[in-house]
C-alpha cells in the first residue's frame, strides 16, 4: 500500500466516524406522556434533551381508538420531517410493558385491555415502547434529572394521588406485572383514614393534594380560624398553593396541615430507607411546591425513624425535571429498548 | 494422524471431560452461619446440598479474635481432607460485604468494625465472602429452597426479631451499605407501640416472638383467662410453642394473639406486594411453626389490602430450608462470587 492510498483510507475512516457520530447525535425519540386531561409530546435526543415539545388536551371522544387517532396525528405534526427511531409512551394505569397493553386507566373512559403498542405502531409505523407514567417519570429523573449521579433512586410523585417508581443498580424495577412502585399505597397506619384504594392509612391518604384539601375543609368546618383562602367554586379542587400562601403568612393551621403531610411522607421515606438503602429519594409533583413546609418535617421524621447508616446515605431531594419527567423518561426507556435490541 | 492415534486422543478427551465433571461436582464451599448463641457450619456443594454439617456454641470469650480463632479451628475440623474453594459467612449485624467488615453485632460483645474477611482468610488461607445473615437466608431459599422456581422473592424471618431479604430478577438486593431488607422495621402504624429500634409501630413490634410473648404476659396480667401454659422461669423467654398448644386446644386468647400477629404480617405483606410486585413472599423462623393460626389471617389481610393484580401474583409460603437457610445461602453467595470472579 502506498502512503498516498494509506492517507486516503485514513481520511475516509475519519470522515465515516464523524458521520456516524453525527447520525448518533441526531437519533431522536418521541416521548408521550398521556394523562386524563392533557397529552404531552416531546422530541427527545439521546442526551435526554427535549428538542421540541407540545401539549394537547387529551381527546376522550371516540374511545381508545379516537384518542389514539388524535395522538397519532399530533405525533406526526410534531415529528414533521425529522426521523424518529422509536416512540416511548407513559400511560396512567395498570399495563404491561412486555405486551404493550393498557389493562385499565381510571382517568381514560372506556380504556380496558387496549393494545396501545400494536395500534399506535399500525398508525405511525414506528416502534412503540409502553411504560407506566410514574415509572417513566422515575426513569427520567434517574437518567437526566435529580438522580443522574446515583445508581439507586426511589421517586415519589405527589399530586392528586401519590405514586412512585424504583430504580435499583441503574435498572428500572417494575416487577413481573409492571405494578411495582405503588409507594402511595404503602400502609403507614393500619388504624388510619380510609384511602381511595379501600385500605386504611395508606401514605396517599395523608400526603396527596386531595388529603391535604380534605384536612383544610374539615378544619374550617370544625371552626378553625385560618388565612387559607379557598377561591369560590374551588372547594373540591383547590390546590396546595392556597395552603402555601397562608403558611407563608404565618398561618398556624396551614403550617400544621403541611407538617402532618410531611410527617407521613417522612414515615414513608423511613420505610423506603430501611427497605431499599437507596442513594436518593426524590419527590416530584405539584405538592413539592410547598417546599420546606413539607420537606422540613419530612427529613426530620425520616432520619428519626430509619437506621442511621442508610438514613445518612439517602439524599432527600426535589425532582429536577418538573412536568417533563414523564415524557423524557418514556423516551429514555424507548431509546434504551432500542439500544438493547 | 493414524486411526489408532485418533482413538487414543478421543479416549483421553473423554477421560479429561469426566475428570473435569467430577472435579466440578466436588467443588465445595464452607457455609458458616454465625449467631449470638450458636455457630453453624456446613460443607455445601454446587447443587446447594449440605454434605456434612455441625453446630458449636459461639465462643464469646477473647473478643472477636477469640471467636474467629474458634471458628477457624472448627472450620478446619469440618473440612478435614476435603478441598474447599471458598467460605461464605453470614453475620448478625450491620456489615459491608464489599469490604468484608462487620461494623457491629449487637449479640456479639465487643464486635465493632471487625475485618472478618481479612482475619479469617489469614487464619484459613481460603477466600471468605461475608454477608448479612438475613440476606444469606434469603439467597438460600431463593437458590434451592421455597423460591427455587421464581425470580423475585421477598423473605421475612420471624424470630426474636423480624428480619428480611430481597431477591429481584435473580439478584440479591443489598443496597450500597448492605442494609436493604430491614423489613421488620417497616412502620405499619405510626401511632403503634414502641419497637426495640426506637420507632413506633414497626412490623417487628407486632409480629416477633418477643411481641407475642409480651401480648400474652400483658393479657394474663390483665386477668384474661387462657390455657397458655408458661413454663416456670420462662416468663421472659417462652416461645411460640406454648401459644400454639393453647390455640390447638381452642383457647380464644391464644388464637387472638396469633390473629393479631398474622394481621400485622398481612399488612406488611400488602406493602411488600404493592412495592415489589414479587412472585413470592416467603416466611422463615420459629414463629412460622404456628402455621395457619398465623398464615390464615396473614393471607386474608394481604389480599384485602394489596392491589389485585400483584396480590394474585404473589405466592405466600413458608420457607423450605429451616435453620439451614443461612448457611446454605452464605455458601451459595460465596460460590457465586467465586464463579463471577
ipTM of the predicted assembly exceeds 0.95 = no
For residue B28, the model assigns a pLDDT of 95
For residue B341, the model assigns a pLDDT of 40
Q: Which residues from chain A sit within 8 angstroms of residue B166, using beta carbons? A: 275
Residues near A90 by beta carbon (within 8 Å), at least 6 away in sequence: A31, A32, A33, A34, A131, A132, A133, A135, A136, A137, A326, A327, A329, A330
Q: Which domains does chain A have, with CATH numbers?
A: 3-138+325-340 (3.30.420.40), 149-320 (3.30.420.40)
- Judged by CB atoms closer than 8 Å, whether chains meet at A270 and B313 is answered as no
Q: Which residues from chain B sit within 8 angstroms of residue A199, using beta carbons? A: 270, 304-305
- Angle CA(B42)–CA(B35)–CA(B73) in degrees, nearest 5? 55
A182, A274, A310 member nearest B274 (Cβ): A182
Mean local confidence (pLDDT), A124-139? 96
Determine contact, residues A315/A283, Cβ cutoff 8 Å. Answer: no
Which of B93, B94, B176, B272 should one mutate to test binding to chain A, selecting the residue with the greatest count of A CBs within 10 A? Answer: B176
B175, B191, B276 member nearest A180 (Cβ): B276
Give pLDDT tens digits along chain B (341 positions). Answer: 456 667 777 777 776 766 665 555 568 999 999 998 899 999 999 999 999 999 999 999 989 999 999 999 999 999 999 999 999 999 998 899 999 999 988 888 899 999 999 999 999 999 999 999 999 999 999 999 999 999 999 999 999 899 999 999 999 999 999 999 999 999 999 999 999 999 999 999 999 999 999 999 999 999 999 999 998 889 888 989 999 999 999 999 999 999 999 999 999 999 999 999 999 999 999 999 999 999 999 999 999 999 999 999 999 999 999 999 999 999 999 998 765 44
CA-wise closest residue to B276 among A125, A314, A271, A329 = A271
Nearest residue of chain B to residue A94 (CA atoms):
B309
Which of A95, A113, A271, A280 should one mutate to test binding to chain B, selecting the residue with the greatest count of B CBs within 10 A? Answer: A271
Name the band, by pLDDT with cuts 50, 70 and 90, for residue A341.
Answer: very low
- 3-state secondary structure (DSSP) of residue A264: helix
Nearest residue of chain A to residue B193 (CA atoms):
A189
Kindly tell me if the per-residue pLDDT of A281 is higher than 80: yes
Residues near B244 by beta carbon (within 8 Å), at least 6 away in sequence: B254, B258, B289, B290, B291, B293
Q: Which residues from chain B sit within 8 angstroms of residue A171, using beta carbons? A: 169
Nearest residue of chain B to residue A186 (CA atoms):
B271
- Judged by CB atoms closer than 8 Å, whether chains meet at B275 and A181 is answered as yes
Determine contact, residues B102/B63, Cβ cutoff 8 Å. Answer: no
pLDDT per position as a tens digit, A13-35: 776 766 665 555 568 999 999 99
Which of B271, B298, B300, B312 should one mutate to test binding to chain A, selecting the residue with the greatest count of A CBs within 10 A? Answer: B271
For residue B231, the model assigns a pLDDT of 87
Q: Which residues from chain B sit within 8 angstroms of residue A177, using beta carbons? A: 277, 309-310, 313
For residue B19, the model assigns a pLDDT of 61
Q: Which residues from chain B sit within 8 angstroms of residue A306, using beta carbons? A: 185
The grid coordinates listed for B179 are: 442494609
Nearest residue of chain B to residue A175 (CA atoms):
B277
Strands across the sheet containing A153-158: A171-172, A162-168, A153-158, A280-284, A315-318
Cα of B276 to nearest chain A Cα, Å: 5
CB pairs under 8 A between A and B: 134
Neighbouring C-beta atoms of residue B159, cutoff 10 Å: 17
pLDDT per position as a tens digit, A157-197: 999 899 999 999 999 999 999 999 999 999 999 999 999 99
The grid coordinates listed for A124 are: 405511525
Tracing cell 442526551 back to the chain, one arrives at: A47
Q: CB burial class (10 A; 0-12, 13-18, 19+) of residue B85?
A: middle
For residue A339, the model assigns a pLDDT of 55
- Judged by CB atoms closer than 8 Å, whether chains meet at A270 and B178 is answered as no
- Judged by CB atoms closer than 8 Å, whether chains meet at B310 and A270 is answered as no
Percent of chain A with pLDDT over 90: 83
pLDDT per position as a tens digit, A62-85: 899 999 999 999 999 999 999 999
- Judged by CB atoms closer than 8 Å, whether chains meet at B180 and A310 is answered as yes
- Judged by CB atoms closer than 8 Å, whether chains meet at B270 and A199 is answered as yes
Mean local confidence (pLDDT), A133-162? 96
- Judged by CB atoms closer than 8 Å, whether chains meet at A178 and B313 is answered as no
Q: Tell me which DSSP letter residue A183 carries.
A: G
For residue A140, the model assigns a pLDDT of 98
Cα of A66 to nearest chain B Cα, Å: 28
Torsion, CA B63, CA B64, CA B69, CA B73, rounded to 10: 110
Can you give chain B as a three-state secondary structure string? CCHHHHHHHHHHHHHHHHHHHHHHHHCEEEEEEECCCEEEEEEEECCCCEEEEEEEECCCCCHHHHHHHHHHHHHHHHHCCCCEEEEEEEECCCEECCCCEEEECCCCCCCEEECHHHHHHHHHCCCEEEEEHHHHHHHHHHHHCCCCCCCCEEEEEECCCEEEEEEECCEECCCCCCCCCCHHHCECECCCCECCCCCECECHHHHCHHHHHHHHHHHHHCCCCCCCCCCCCCCCCCCHHHHHHHHHCCCHHHHHHHHHHHHHHHHHHHHHHHHHCCCEEEEECHHHHHCHHHHHHHHHHHHHHCCHHHHHHCEEEECCCHHHHHHHHHHHHHHHHHHHC
- Judged by CB atoms closer than 8 Å, whether chains meet at B275 and A307 is answered as no
A179, A186, A275 member nearest B180 (Cβ): A275
- Judged by CB atoms closer than 8 Å, whether chains meet at B191 and A190 is answered as no
Amino acid at each position: 500500500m502506498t502512503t498516498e492510498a494509506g492517507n486516503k483510507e485514513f481520511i475516509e475512516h475519519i470522515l465515516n466516524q464523524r458521520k456516524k457520530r453525527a447520525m448518533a447525535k441526531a437519533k431522536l425519540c418521541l416521548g408521550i406522556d398521556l394523562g386524563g386531561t392533557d397529552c404531552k409530546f416531546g422530541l427527545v435526543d439521546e442526551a435526554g434533551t427535549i428538542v421540541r415539545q407540545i401539549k394537547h388536551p387529551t381527546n376522550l371522544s371516540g374511545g381508545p381508538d379516537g384518542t389514539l387517532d388524535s395522538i397519532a396525528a399530533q405525533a406526526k405534526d410534531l415529528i414533521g420531517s425529522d426521523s424518529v427511531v422509536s416512540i416511548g409512551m407513559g400511560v396512567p394505569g395498570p399495563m404491561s410493558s412486555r405486551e404493550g397493553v393498557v389493562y385499565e386507566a381510571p382517568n381514560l373512559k372506556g380504556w380496558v385491555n387496549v393494545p396501545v403498542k400494536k395500534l399506535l405502531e399500525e398508525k405511525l409505523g414506528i416502534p412503540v415502547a409502553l411504560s407506566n407514567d410514574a415509572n417513566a417519570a422515575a426513569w427520567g429523573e434517574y437518567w437526566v434529572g435529580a438522580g443522574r449521579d446515583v445508581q439507586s433512586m426511589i421517586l415519589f410523585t405527589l399530586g392528586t394521588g401519590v405514586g412512585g417508581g424504583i430504580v435499583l443498580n441503574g435498572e428500572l424495577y417494575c416487577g413481573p406485572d409492571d405494578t411495582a412502585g405503588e409507594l402511595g399505597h404503602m400502609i403507614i397506619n393500619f388504624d388510619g383514614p380510609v384511602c381511595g384504594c379501600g385500605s386504611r392509612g395508606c401514605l396517599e391518604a395523608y400526603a396527596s393534594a386531595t388529603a391535604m384539601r380534605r384536612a383544610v375543609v374539615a378544619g374550617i368546618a370544625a371552626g378553625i380560624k385560618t388565612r387559607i383562602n379557598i377561591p369560590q367554586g374551588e372547594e373540591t379542587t383547590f390546590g396546595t398553593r392556597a395552603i402555601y400562601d397562608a403558611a407563608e403568612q404565618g398561618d398556624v393551621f396551614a403550617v400544621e396541615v403541611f407538617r402532618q403531610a410531611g410527617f407521613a411522607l417522612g414515615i414513608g421515606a423511613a420505610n423506603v430507607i430501611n427497605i431499599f438503602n437507596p442513594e436518593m429519594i426524590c419527590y416530584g409533583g405539584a405538592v413539592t411546591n410547598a417546599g420546606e413546609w413539607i420537606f422540613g418535617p419530612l427529613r426530620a421524621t425520616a432520619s428519626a425513624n430509619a437506621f442511621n447508616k442508610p438514613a445518612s446515605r439517602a439524599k432527600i431531594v426535589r425532582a429536577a425535571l418538573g412536568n417533563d419527567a414523564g415524557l423524557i423518561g418514556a423516551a429514555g426507556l424507548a431509546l434504551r429498548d432500542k439500544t438493547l435490541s
